[in-house]
Amino acid sequence: MIFLDETTYLVTLLNPAAVTSGSISPSTFTSGASTLNNNWAGSAEAVLGSGYASLIGTPTIIDIRNMTKNRAVRYDLSSGDLIIISESGQSIDYPTIDWGVRNEVYTMTIDIRTIQDERAGTDANFGRDRLERLYKVVRHRLEQNRKGSTITISSDSKKMNQLFLGSRTEANDRNKRLFGYKLTVEMKRFAVAIP
């Protein structure tokens, strides 16, 4: 059985079809989003148009804590684009006089990575353009589910009430022809009962 924590939640939210742990995939994905295609392909088509597959496919989306070979510590970007999810902080607030419930805020980091390689041909802006397309799809995924969603894997379920895309910084390495963005995301849960 998998424990559905906040990092696994965000990995699954970005692409509900992605395998989140071994052979386990989400059994339920419920969102306030009105679009039927609430997945990576649906967001890519909404942002990039019907030819999105030729512009950008589905990247590998992983939890940084993953111990599978070539899935966290080292990754060959020539095999595809990469999005790494990690938790960078959590804060808790007790909004009532009796402290009977808590509000939770999780600060997450999303690292988007792509590389300028032989796929570029003569296009000097291949990596830069690809990074921008990846960012737009990730932004759409988060904004589409900004009012919250519930994800269930096996019998474990988690609901977030709000998602906010925060800051974006560049993380490029010209010598390695690596292009990247580092994004911050806030995920909020309200009125969580204290046992």
Which residues are CB-contacts of 69 (< 8 A; sequence separation ≥ 6)?
Answer: none
**How does 98-119 read in b/e, with b if 16+ C-beta sit within 10 Å?**
eeeebbbbbebbbbbbbbbeee
Tokens (6 digits) for 149: 């969603």
Q: Quick check: is 1 in a domain?
A: no
The mean pLDDT value for 90-105 works out to: 93
pLDDT at 169 over 50: yes
Q: Quick check: is 95 in a domain?
A: yes
Select from 85, 48, 71 the least CA-distant residue to 40.
48
Strand ordering across the sheet containing 156-160: 28-31, 149-153, 156-160
pTM: 0.84
Q: Quick check: is 98 in a domain?
A: yes
Tokens (6 digits) for 157: 């379920």
Q: Name the residue type at position 7.
A: T
Q: Quick check: is 101 in a domain?
A: yes
| Cβ neighbour number for residue 159 with a 10 Å cutoff | 14
The sign of the CA dihedral 115, 118, 120, 124 is: positive
Domain residues for the domain of 89 are: 6-193
Tokens (6 digits) for 33: 């989003």
pLDDT at 163 over 80: yes
Q: Quick check: is 148 in a domain?
A: yes
Q: Quick check: is 113 in a domain?
A: yes
**pLDDT tens column, 63-93:** 887 766 655 556 666 667 889 999 999 999 9
Q: Quick check: is 94 in a domain?
A: yes
The percentage of the chain sitting over the pLDDT mark of 70, rounded to a whole number, equals 76
Q: Quick check: is 102 in a domain?
A: yes
Q: Name the residue type at position 1.
A: M
The angle, 0 to 180 degrees and rounded to 10, between the axes of the packed helices 126-144 and 40-48 is 120
The structural domain count of the chain equals 1
